[in-house]
Structure 1
Amino acid sequence: MIPLIHVVEDDRDHRHALCDLVEAAGYRAEPFADGSAALAATARPDLVLTDLRMPGMDGQALLQAMRERDPDCPVVLISGHGDLAQAVQAMRAGAEDFLEKPYDGMHLLTVIERGLRSRAARAEIGRLQDRITRRDEGGLLGQSAAITALRAKIAALAPTDLDIVVTGETGTGKELVARALHAASARAAGPFVAVNCAALPESLFEIEIFGHVAGAFPGAQDKPGKLEAASGGTLMLDEVEAMPAAIQPKLLRALQERMVERLGENRLRPLDLRIVATSKTDLRQLTLDGSFRPDLFYRLAGAEIAVEPLRVLGEDIALLFSHYASLAATRYGREMPGLDPALKQRLMRRPWPGNVRELKAVAERIALGLDFPDDPAAPVAEPESLAARVAAFEAREIRLALERCRGNTERTAKVLGMARRTLNDKISRYGIRL
């Protein structure tokens, strides 16, 4: 749809000249001799270009009326009197810009284009914020197929008492999934206890998990371990793949019997808890090389949930960026950064090796007014020839489409609009690994 611009000017010749300039730039222009007539128009404008001093309703009054009726509509004021005080007042009242006659036509068109871009950015932010306010209680934002399927799986598994393994790359939100499982379960009123297996020194692991009694070692007092602390609720074993090999059989026994024996005593204490184990690597593969006990894996994996990486979530990337940028802007007392098409394009093209964690850091950086950070995984220089640039772009698009379609070449070919044989040739040519 071609943007509609209301041109409000009491001077007939100037009004027609402005309309000719606006239409020559590819916009639709509708002329009005005063502010009242513009307000009474049926068609709602995408931008208002108005003179400041006019009989009846002047530009300042029109600005105020437009702000009340459509706060997102940019209003550009023009004055032939060089009134600085009026300009300051107009900008404080929400004017997009203020131009003094005589003005440069190209500059006026630049102001109009910038105003329309700002409106589009505000509309996009509003749309994303509306989706954010309608998010589910578990805090899993997004409308993509991957997030929708993840919510469905959580909803199906949460009411059960199965232990669950959640797998996904670093920064994909595995702890968020664990908390959502807890919040939607019958154990929601109980504690949610998290243990980072990679951060615990091996010498302290057994004490922290199983607890100890007074006299177990010099200076020891009675202290329940994490297993007991989570009784009635959920214990999350984060980065469970890092659990020391010596601890694995002891944890297996405790989970099989749902009983725990504190260090330094000979009696068993009952356990009533659910385990959610998270891992950034495939635990099944680790069982093959002996670095993780197969029997412990199968005890933990009553069910499995795989969390997709950020790069395959499509439009949800912009949604998540808007959410974190809004939080950061509020925290630092800044204006919400606009999500213009150029920024959205950069968000969609970035591979996001750090996933949501990296996206959050970028959103906070943009909210503070800093530049968009370079992709650390990107090559230092662009390929020199056009053919090389086209090939790099094509390979990246094919790789992303394959990830979205989980390696299914038939579906990927349909998504990309090419024959399957052509796709396979390109996969081979670019050395893309499925």
Structure 2
Amino acid sequence: MKKNQTSIQFAFSSPPSYTFLRVLPMWKVLLVDDEPRDHAILNLTLPPYFELYSCYTGQEALVVLEQKELHFVLLDVDLPDINGIELLKLLRRKQEGGTVFIMVSGYNEPEIIVEAVKSGAAEYLVKPYSIETMNRVFQKYIHQTRQIPLPLADTGGIVGSIQNIEEFGLIGKSESMRKIREQIHRFGPAEGTVLITGESGTGKELITRALHQTSRRREGPFIAVNCGAIPESIFETELFGSAEGAYTDATNRIGLFETANRGTLFLDEVGEMPLSVQVKLLRVLEEQEIRPVGASKGKKIDVRVVSATNQDLSTAVEGGRFRRDLYYRLNVFRINVPPLRERKEDIPLLAYYLLHMQKSRYPTSSFCLKDLALKKLLEHSWPGNVRELKNVLERALCLADSPDIGPELITFY
């Protein structure tokens, strides 16, 4: 009988579902396992209304159960000081009531599974188990076991949600990501402009899309434009359109503002906008009216503007490269996106998500990110941020001859 070797496994069909509730009772989970990385991964991926307690031996678990009332206990079969099934029997005698006991193990022998169930295990999960499976087990007992109170308030509960982290691509449980999610739900329904600041590759457009999806404009168009990619000679026409005869070969052309009517216009790298256009953008924001190039009268529009930059716009204002009045007009709400090197605790979950998103392009349906490979990811400084991480993992998948992704496949250029 050989125990499966555990490592960080990413063999999931979809990311976990996260719901933010008005009332967030803390569901107390105890993990008893001698593998530190299993504790780290569970801590990173549990929904925000779970509280994790970690024990590495059976003796530690017995002490915790004397002090805490727990909703879930996850037990590994193979512990350094006691067999997990024997510990299960002890814990069940000590922790009466609504506690749900779940066995987790690298063993997949039927006789062990039967013994665990007979000893009181509600579930038996074989490593590597997916985050989705674990989340589904938790939800099953939260919502179906009447011994555990339901987490939703009688008054209706959900005030706003990120129902799937794949929907927005906002991955991470760091404090900075929690704050950004909170800002999205506060600023999204509002109508004021939003300025998003952060280095290239940090996900500013994803945040803008999230703001759009949480706004009343979600059914309207979402138009994104990189201001650094438009030549100055046609910038005004691109934004506001043109009337027939405005210049040689000019036709009636709809600009980006009119295209985004009743929706959201995302001005990426807004610091690259020419000064000659900035003054006209300010007028549009203040009057909600555009005048196409060569037109004799304006057109009313209903557009929310979200802008982003990797520059320090306040410095650009002092240097005369950006209008002060436009800066204040764009900066009604502000979201600062930290670089990946400042939230490295999010890298394991980001790696899982990015591998999941790309696995359909490769013949192997699941991948195993080895410990040393993850260590290499955590030690890198990530000047290209999440975009660089995505490229590194895609390169590793392409070069892999087996499901195992080792440190030799993690390369940086």
Q: Any stretches of 5+ residues in structure 2 without a counterpart?
A: 1-32, 36-77, 85-100, 116-121, 139-161, 401-407
- Tell me which residue corresponds to 2:269: 239
- Indicate the residue corresponding to 2:409 in structure 1: 372
2:182 maps to what in 1?
152
1:142 aligns with 2:179: no
**Cα distance change of structure 1 residues 240 and 43 upon mapping to structure 2, 3 Å threshold:** closer
Residues 60-119 of structure 1: CA distance to partner in whole angstroms, max 9, x if unpaired? x989999xx99974xxxxxxxxxxxxxxxxxxxxxxxxxxxxxxxxxxxxxxxxxxxxx4
Higher helix share: 1
Residue in structure 2 matching 1:290, options 312, 315, 320:
320
AA aligned to 1:290 is G
Task: Identify which of structures 1 and 2 has the higher relative contact order when contacts are C-alpha pairs closer than 8 Å and 6+ apart.
Answer: 2
Q: Note the aligned Cα RMSD (angstroms).
A: 3.6
Displacement after TM superposition at 1:204 (Å): 1.5
- Cα deviation 1:363-412 (Å, max 9, x = unaligned): 21222244434344xxxxxxxxxxxxxxxxxxxxxxxxxxxxxxxxxxxx
Give CA-to-partner distance per residue, 1:332-367, whole Å, 9 cap, x none: 222322133222222221111111101111121222
Preserved CA contact (<8 Å) 2:103 2:123: no
Contact 1:329/1:368, CA 8 A, preserved across alignment: no
Instruction: Check the 8 A contact 1:162/1:274 in 2, yes or no.
Output: yes
Letter in 1 for 2:243: V
SS of 2:306's partner is strand
Contact between 1:318 and 1:344, CA under 8 Å: does it hold in 2?
yes
The 8 Å contact of residues 113 and 124 in structure 2, kept in 1 or not, is answered as no
What is the aligned-residue identity percentage?
36
> 1: CA distance between counterparts of 2:369 and 2:343?
18
Cα distance in 1 for residues equivalent to 2:222 and 2:266 = 8
TM-score normalized with structure 1 length: 0.59
Tell me the equivalent position of 1:163: 193
Query: Map of 1:372-391 to 2, 5 A cutoff?
Result: 372-376=409-413
Counterpart for residue 281 of structure 2 = 251
Instruction: Name the residue aligned to 2:350.
Output: 320
**Count of aligned pairs:** 289
Gaps of 5+ in 1: 4-22, 31-41, 51-60, 74-118, 377-434
Does structure 2 retain, via aligned residues, the 8 Å contact 1:129–1:322?
no
- Is the 1:213–1:265 contact (alpha carbons within 8 Å) kept by the matching residues of 2? yes
| Residues 1:362 and 2:399 are matched in the alignment | no
Aligned 8 A contact 2:341 2:382 in 1: yes
Indicate if the aligned counterparts of 2:102 and 2:123 stay in contact, CA closer than 8 A: no
Match of 2:147 in 1: none
| Amino acid aligned to 2:225 | V
Change (3 A) 1:236 1:261: same
Secondary structure class of the residue paired with 1:338: strand
Partners of 1:333 and 1:159 lie apart in 2 by 42
What's the TM-score, normalizing by structure 2?
A: 0.61
Among 356, 363, 370, the residue aligned to 1:340: 370
Residue 307 of structure 1 and its aligned partner are, at CA, apart by 0.7
CA contact (8 A) 1:336 1:367 kept: no
Alpha-carbon separation, structure 2, partners of 1:210 and 1:47: 62
For the 8 Å contact 2:187–2:211, the answer to whether it is kept is yes
Q: Is the 8 A contact 1:168 1:279 kept in 2?
A: yes
What is the distance in 2 between the residues matched to 1:261 and 1:306? 33
